[in-house]
Amino acid sequence: MHERENGAVTFHRYVALGDSFTEGVGDPDATRPNGLRGWADRVAEHLATLEPDFRYANLAIRGRKLPTILDEQLDAGLALDPDLVTIHGGGNDVLRPRVDVDALAARYEEAISRLTATGARVVMFTLFDPGTTGVFAAMRGRFAVFNEWVREIADRHEVTLVDQWRMRDIELPAVMDTDRMHLNPAGHAYMATRVLDALGVAHELVPPTLAPIPVLDRRERLAENARWTREFLAPWVHRRLTGRSSGDLVTPKRPTLAAID
């Protein structure tokens, strides 16, 4: 990290760690590695305009649980000597039938301690609020407990926090993909502005204009829920039952530090 005479904060080496949220699932772009853009790419693109020697790596892979993120990505990320690290995880863990959130948090804190010890600026995220209705509503308490641990870890290690749970200025359905699990392109664009704001980086990115949420009658809601169950929920459950992941054949889209094209 570098602070210019005018107070502007810039970075030279940004490494993004995590799962589908950071890989960019929900924001398709056939011209990019893994066919995805995402909020992390958008943040990197802006940071590249501020530093001529800026480099960016993204090691995130969809479907990864937090322990696997730490096992596969932490050492690799540290080896790149970043001055900025973003890390997101835990969503794939709290959705499982059984999870020890306290043990998960302890493992997470160990990793954050290693990252902050390097002097890099570290950014963490809470999980979104699933609300009181819908398929994830029963997990809301588990989301909340995990998020409180994230806030405590961020406070203790003086980490920058992007608190998705408290983002009440948008309606969640407006920024979610049709799979109801990932951000859509507007959601990724919105998240990029929130990350840059949290970092204190000046930018001219404009939050996207969100499409109005369609009002469905009972028959339309049933049809939409049936489609979602058939296209997304059933395959997701099948992968869980067979021990597979959507990221089993996926490799990091930017495994080494490189300039933004």
Query: For the domain that residue 165 is a member of, what is the CATH number?
Result: 3.40.50.1110
Phi, psi of 86 (to 5 degrees): -110, 140
What residues contact residue 19 under an 8 Å CB cut-off, 6+ apart? 60, 61, 62, 63, 64, 65, 69, 88, 89, 91, 92, 247
What residues contact residue 178 under an 8 Å CB cut-off, 6+ apart? 184, 228, 232
Query: Beta strands of the chain (E only): which ranges?
Result: 2-3, 9-10, 13-17, 55-58, 84-87, 121-125, 160-162, 254-258
Query: How much is the pLDDT for 252?
Result: 98
Length of the chain: 261
Number of separate domains in the chain: 1
Phi, psi of 243 (to 5 degrees): 70, 25
CA–centroid distance for 45 within its chain:
17
Task: Find the domain containing 195 and state its range.
Answer: 2-258
**pLDDT, tens only, 20-51:** 999 999 999 999 999 999 999 999 999 999 99
Q: Are 120 and 80 in contact (CB under 8 A)?
A: no
Kindly report the pTM of this predicted structure.
0.91
Q: What's 126's DSSP letter?
A: P
Residues of the chain below pLDDT 70: 1-8, 228, 236, 238, 240-241
Q: Are 137 and 130 in contact (CB under 8 A)?
A: yes
Could you tell me the two tokens for 247?
A: 């990221």
Query: How much is the pLDDT for 217?
Result: 78
